[in-house]
Amino acid sequence: MGTVPSALKHCLSYQHLLKEQLWIAEPPAAAHPAQEPQASGLPEYIKIVEVGPRDGLQNEKVIVPTDIKIELINQLSKTGLPAIEVTSFVSSKWVPQMADHKEVMRGIERHPGVQYPVLTPNLQGFHSAIAAGATEVSVFGAASESFSKMNINCSIEESIERFEEVTKSARNMNIPVRGYVSCALGCPYEGNVLPDKVAEVSKRLYGMGCYEISLGDTIGVGTPGSMKKMLEAVMKEIPLSALAVHCHDTYGQALANILTAMQMGVSVVDSSVAGLGGCPYAKGATGNVATEDVIYMMNGLGIKTGVNLCAVMEAGNFICTALNKKTNSKVAQASFSSGTIN
Amino acid sequence: ASGAYPKRVKVVEVGPRDGLQNEKNLVPTPVKINLINMLSETGLQVIEATSFVSPKWVPQMADHTEVLQGIRKSPGISYPVLTPNLRGFQAAVAAGAKEVSIFGAASELFTQKNINCSIEESLERFEEVMRAAKEASIPVRGYVSCVLGCPYEGKISAAKVAEVSKKMFSMGCYEISLGDTIGVGTPGSMREMLAVVMKEVPVGALAVHCHDTYGQALANILVALQMGVSVVDASVAGLGGCPYAQGASGNVATEDLVYMLNGLGIHTGVDLQKLMDTGTFICNALNRKTNSKVSQASCRL
């Protein structure tokens, strides 16, 4: 298809394209009618929940110093992201990466309009989180018994009881609680997971007071087909506005799955800057979907997110440099010609 | 709203041509032949074998005659080859080609930079090929590059894509493959472009050729399927980087595409395991990591 070297030489630089071209800049103020999300049945606004500092870093091999974590979160706070999952109040015995949860919670800048939820697996973690200044917490359930046992050493029912203690205390203190359901599209131990099971666990979490349920494709095996079936079952029990999807890109399906969820009306999407966080169940495989790639798609669809893509790429560049690793974001890979921006 | 999906999708494997052409390392002829032979065992129905261009322009494809004559041609499988002009067409037919492809573009600047002429002039060249192909009863597939964006012009109008597609279809191309050459498209621009093109070319004659440079390929393909497109190009192991963005990826990986289609219950006839084995083979031969996420993930359900 022609000589490569001359094409590269004469081509518009990508930095130029970034600034000039619609497909990478902020979504157009007046969306082209053919691109209006309502016309294609998509939500007008998607809330992006950034899980890089917690879910992302937790699954990185290298232990990240506290000041780097704080700097990452501070940079993310300036991107327009409405929610940034900061850390996890679990025992450092289980998750050494999150041992500095108190310092991180106390050390970050708190920007108005940004939520900073933290994971709290039980009442003890919850109290510790509140003492450190947390104003929103998350609890993690699973749609698979085997996963629940292997991950937190108890049955789904027992975990629900633990979470009920947390939500009761949280309610008393007006602290919102987000519920996660892992293995929503498949389990590394059990294989297939029934949509009805996902719906059942989601309903329990919602019923105990979680304001939002994030459905996680923990090992990334889901496809638009299984996403649709699972959401159909869950939507019978939970209002659409209370649902979020947390897709892993281990099999490259994340954006297609997120698109499917959005076509069904879901308007909250979890993602991780630079696609931080591998899959602990598949060596060498990727994990979280990259926030940059999600925003790129939203911008192209004319869907508002409030997030500045270039700012996220800078934060991604920062953390990848600190971790001495390559980004998992394709948008970032395509945009950096020499590893630095502008 | 998500519409119904096609029951079957034809996967057009472009790894041996589009993939290898954009790989830095020159691949020895026996490796190319083995790659195509392995692909022939996977259930794929169409495997783009090589390109009859001058080796001065594309050294990777200098062995086009040897490759086409050396591969085992399985019955029921088509092995199209690129032919940029009449001379290439004649060389291809002499070497045994039974199907050819021609490459147009929806961007004037891209055409100038790429093949040193205007879109109009390129179509005149193709007319010569079409005439000869019709006489020899050789089917011709038409490609349109830059359908969702151009590395030189930036934004490309859907009307221009439709215009070029219509011309190539009217000339006699049995299928038009719409290429997101630099992978900048998103489901929004894909939908808009297809809506306009489908007014000029029947959807049954359309294919999409998505690059994954910005990670958007599968989402774009999903939207194309929802609009009725049932032919999708892909490259085993996601071979082929993007020549316009250093270090970036190019073609969407066939393994990842088939994984998604399987999950949607869409029939492809392709054996995913055999495909992954083929991807492993060529990546070892190229001494590179696969671009397929399905291949990278070792955890199986």
Q: What is the mean pLDDT of residues A240-246?
A: 98
Instruction: Render pLDDT for A263-287 as a digit per residue (tens, 0 to 9).
Output: 999 999 999 999 999 777 776 678 8
Query: Residue A147: its pLDDT value, please?
Result: 94
Rg (CA), chain B: 18
Residue B301 has pLDDT above 60, yes or no: no
Indicate the fold that domain A47-337 takes in CATH: TIM Barrel (3.20.20)
* Residue A129, burial from CB neighbour count under 10 angstroms (0-12, 13-18, 19+): buried
Cβ neighbours for A128, distance < 8 A, ≥ 6 positions apart: A89, A101, A102, A120
B64: CATH: 3.20.20.70
Residue A125 has pLDDT above 80, yes or no: yes
Chain A environment of B188 (Cβ under 8 Å): 35, 40, 300-302
- Domain count for chain B: 1
8 Å CB contact of A7 and B57: no
The minimal CB distance from A41 to the residues B1, B21, B22 is found for B1
Structural domain including B265 reads 10-295
Instruction: Render pLDDT for B49-74 as a digit per residue (tens, 0 to 9).
Output: 999 998 888 899 999 999 999 999 99
pLDDT: which is higher, A294 or A34? A294
The C-alpha angle with vertex A272 and arms to A311 and A168, in degrees rounded to 5, equals 115
**Active-site annotation holder among B146, B150, B210, B242:** B242
Model pTM?
0.92
The minimal CB distance from A255 to the residues B192, B218, B294 is found for B218
Instruction: Give the domain ranges of chain A.
Output: 47-337
Residue A9 has pLDDT above 80, yes or no: no
How many residue contacts between A and B have a Cβ separation below 8 Å? 186
Nearest chain A residue (CA) to B212: A330
CA atoms within 13 Å, Cβ hemisphere of A286: 29
Q: Measure in Å the smallest separation between the Cα of A269 and chain B Cα atoms.
A: 15
Cβ neighbours for B178, distance < 8 A, ≥ 6 positions apart: B144, B147, B161, B165, B193, B194, B197, B206, B207, B208, B209
- The pLDDT confidence band at residue A33, using thresholds 50, 70 and 90, is very low
Chain B environment of A32 (Cβ under 8 Å): 192
Chain B environment of A330 (Cβ under 8 Å): 212-215, 248-249
- Percentage of residues of chain A with pLDDT beyond 90: 79
The C-alpha angle with vertex B241 and arms to B235 and B244, in degrees rounded to 5, equals 130
Q: Measure in Å the smallest separation between the Cα of A285 and chain B Cα atoms.
A: 5
8 Å CB contact of B253 and A296: no
The minimal CB distance from A7 to the residues B113, B189, B249 is found for B113
Query: Residue B3: its pLDDT value, please?
Result: 57
Active site residue B242: yes
Judge whether B22 lies within some domain.
yes
* Residue B137, burial from CB neighbour count under 10 angstroms (0-12, 13-18, 19+): exposed
Instruction: Render pLDDT for B102-144 as a digit per residue (tens, 0 to 9).
Output: 999 999 999 998 888 999 999 999 999 999 999 999 999 999 9
Judge whether B5 lies within some domain.
no
Q: Measure in Å the smallest separation between the Cα of B1 and chain A Cα atoms.
A: 5
Q: Measure in Å the smallest separation between the Cα of A114 and chain B Cα atoms.
A: 27
- The pLDDT confidence band at residue A114, using thresholds 50, 70 and 90, is very high
Instruction: Render pLDDT for B210-237 as a digit per residue (tens, 0 to 9).
Output: 999 999 999 999 999 999 999 999 999 9
Query: Residue A37: its pLDDT value, please?
Result: 57
Residue from A22, A300, A2, A15 nearest B109 by CA: A2
Chain A environment of B195 (Cβ under 8 Å): 34
Q: Give the three-class secondary structure for B6.
A: coil
Residue B50 to residue B115: CA distance in whole angstroms: 18
Nearest chain B residue (CA) to A19: B154
- The pLDDT confidence band at residue B22, using thresholds 50, 70 and 90, is confident
- Secondary structure string (H, E, C) spanning chain A: CCCHHHHHHHCCCHHHHHHHCCCCCCCCCCCCHHHCCCCCCCCCECEEEECHHHHHHHCCCCCCCHHHHHHHHHHHHCCCCCEECCCECCCCCCCHHHCCHHHHHHHCCCCCCCECCEECCCHHHHHHHHHCCCCCEEEEEECCHHHHHHHHCCCHHHHHHHHHHHHHHHHHCCCCEEEEEECCCCECCCECCCHHHHHHHHHHHHHCCCCEEEEEECCCCCCHHHHHHHHHHHCCCCCHHHEEEEEECCCCCHHHHHHHHHHCCCCEEEEEHHHCCECCCCCCCECECEHHHHHHHHHHHCCECCCCHHHHHHHHHHHHHHHCCCCCCHHHHHHCCCCCCC
Residue of B24, B296, B300 for testing the chain A interface, max A β-carbons within 10 Å = B296
- Averaged pLDDT score across all residues of chain B: 94
Q: What is the mean pLDDT of residues A243-270?
A: 97
Judge whether B2 lies within some domain.
no
Answer yes or no: are the C-beta atoms of A107 and A66 closer than 8 Å.
yes
Answer yes or no: are the C-beta atoms of B180 and B213 closer than 8 Å.
no
